[in-house]
């Protein structure tokens, strides 16, 4: 259930707050496992047959599955409870973050001189997708508290409640699973310089430093507060990472200066125009032989109508305006448009290292257990989660 974060850079909770977090995680687990299963069965038993009766065919897309389900009691209860639980995630951690603000700032100051770095850019025009709406119903979005530690502390503790233990003790399961997969699949690849785009608090950046300790790792984000928090969080764990405030669609790095450009759960929060620019920038800053790699939600083209809609739900009800637009795009085409060769593209599904273990990640990387997109496991925060990734080497 809710993980207790294992690093010192976190807001401490009272026993009541811990109980509240556990309750919200438990409620989310019930919604995302049991109520989701009820909704699927309502779709098969009621919604899809009614759609078929009216249209003479099955729903063929995520949009049509949504149309078929709207108004169904199972859909209504699932959606209403999920929205309320989402609000409760952030509410459950707000008091402790507020109470702990001064202590966290003092703790961060103690490690200010540790290896690693933080470079904020007060002149940066922070893009609207980062601050203008409460992304995934998170009050104040990523710029809550400006460049204070507040947004980072809320995100860190909130994500622990949100993810119900599925993202690991330091919320790094995605980064650990993906970096281990790449190490196993490409054993001769030895990156010297790694860039993480849209890192937030760097929870999925740190695993890259662990996988490639000799590499210089730089993490960027447009929002200042999460970077300030992430930098202190990394230093307290003895991880040397540079955190810099910058837009991923306008990188202040030279051409051909990185071996890996990585992102996780980032592309779906960008407009279509920003996303295309991010791919162009990734291609530009990669060295020849370098790897662009994104962990994301699996695309609609690889999913059936119901399961595609199940993921697109966030676009309609969770303040994720770009989610569906992203999932309707085709990763292979995004890469090709930015200049990557068709033959250099690959996508894959990696089992969560925390759930399935290192051997399962190695098996997937060696092709012994190549996974197709699992309709109910890939990218879905529920029992048995697996992660979808894609990317390309630059020739
Ligand atoms: C969902 S979070 C990503 C979380 C993290 N990478 C992970 O692995 O869970 C999206 C992040 O992207 C950042 N962001 C959005 N647009 C951006 C842009 N144009 N340039 C840089 N960062 C951006 C937001 O500030 C936010 O921190």
More confident residue, 83 or 380: 83
pLDDT band (50, 70, 90) for residue 348? very high
pTM over 0.85, yes/no: yes
CA-wise closest residue to 58 among 48, 66, 67, 68: 48
pLDDT band (50, 70, 90) for residue 374? confident
> Each residue of 104-140: pLDDT tens digit?
999 999 999 999 999 999 999 999 999 999 999 999 9
In short, whether 355's Cβ falls inside 6 Å of ligand 1 is no
- Give percent of the chain above pLDDT 70: 98
Q: What are phi and psi of 288, to 5 degrees?
A: -60, 135
CA-wise closest residue to 253 among 310, 212, 196: 196
In the reported structure, the alpha carbon of residue 72 is separated from the centroid of ligand 1 by a whole-number distance in angstroms of 34
In short, whether 217's Cβ falls inside 6 Å of ligand 1 is no
Q: What is the DSSP string of 286-332?
A: EEEEEEEEEEEPPPGGGS-HHHHHHHHHHHHHSS-TTHHHHHTS-HH
> Each residue of 278-306: pLDDT tens digit?
999 999 999 999 999 999 999 999 999 99
| Mean of all residue pLDDT scores within the chain | 95
SS3 140: coil
In short, whether 266's Cβ falls inside 6 Å of ligand 1 is yes
Domain boundaries, the chain: 1-395
Q: Does the pLDDT at position 370 exceed 70?
A: no
pLDDT band (50, 70, 90) for residue 2? low
pLDDT band (50, 70, 90) for residue 7? confident
Domain 1-395: what homologous superfamily?
Answer: Vaccinia Virus protein VP39 (3.40.50.150)
In short, whether 389's Cβ falls inside 6 Å of ligand 1 is no
pLDDT band (50, 70, 90) for residue 261? very high
In the reported structure, the alpha carbon of residue 169 is separated from the centroid of ligand 1 by a whole-number distance in angstroms of 21
In short, whether 351's Cβ falls inside 6 Å of ligand 1 is no
Measure the CA–CA gap between 394 and 372, rounded to whole angstroms. 25
| Inter-helix orientation angle 305-317/62-69, to 10° | 70
Pocket test for ligand 1, best of 143, 199, 201, 221 (most atoms within 8 A of CB): 221
């Amino acid at each position: 259930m809710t993980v207790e974060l294992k690093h010192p850079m976190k807001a401490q909770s009272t026993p009541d707050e811990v109980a509240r977090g556990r309750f919200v995680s438990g409620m989310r687990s019930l919604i995302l496992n049991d109520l989701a299963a009820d909704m699927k069965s309502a779709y098969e038993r009621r919604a899809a047959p009614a759609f078929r009766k009216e249209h003479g065919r099955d729903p063929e897309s995520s949009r049509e599955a949504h149309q078929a389900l709207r108004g169904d009691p199972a859909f209504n209860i699932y959606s209403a409870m999920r929205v309320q639980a989402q609000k409760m995630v952030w509410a459950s951690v707000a008091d402790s973050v507020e109470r702990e603000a001064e202590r966290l700032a003092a703790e961060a100051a103690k490690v200010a001189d540790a290896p690693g770095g933080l470079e904020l850019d007060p002149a940066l025009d922070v893009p609207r997708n980062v601050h203008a709406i409460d992304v995934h119903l998170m009050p104040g979005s990523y710029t809550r508290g400006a460049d204070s530690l507040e947004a980072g502390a809320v995100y860190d503790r909130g994500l622990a409640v949100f993810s119900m233990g599925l993202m690991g003790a330091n919320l790094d399961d995605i980064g650990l699973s993906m970096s281990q997969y790449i190490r196993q699949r490409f054993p001769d690849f030895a990156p010297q310089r790694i860039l993480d785009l849209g890192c937030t608090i760097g929870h999925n950046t740190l695993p890259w430093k662990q996988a490639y300790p000799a590499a210089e790792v730089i993490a960027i984000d447009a929002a200042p507060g999460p970077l300030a928090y992430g930098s202190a969080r990394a230093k307290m764990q003895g991880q040397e990472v540079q955190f810099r405030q910058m837009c991923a669609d306008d990188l202040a790095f030279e051409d051909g200066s990185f071996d890996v450009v990585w992102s996780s759960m980032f592309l779906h929060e960008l407009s279509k125009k920003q996303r295309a620019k991010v791919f162009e920038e990734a291609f530009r800053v990669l060295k020849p032989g370098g790897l662009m790699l994104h962990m994301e939600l699996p695309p609609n083209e690889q999913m059936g109508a119901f399961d595609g809609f199940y993921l697109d739900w966030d676009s309609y009800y969770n303040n994720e305006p770009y989610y569906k637009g992203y999932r309707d795009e085709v990763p292979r085409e995004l890469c090709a448009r930015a200049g990557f060769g068709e033959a250099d593209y690959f996508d894959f599904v990696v089992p969560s290292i925390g759930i399935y273990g290192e051997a399962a990640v190695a098996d997937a990387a060696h092709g012994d257990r190549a996974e197709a997109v699992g309709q109910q496991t890939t990218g879905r925060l529920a029992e048995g989660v697996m992660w979808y990734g894609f990317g390309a080497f630059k020739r």
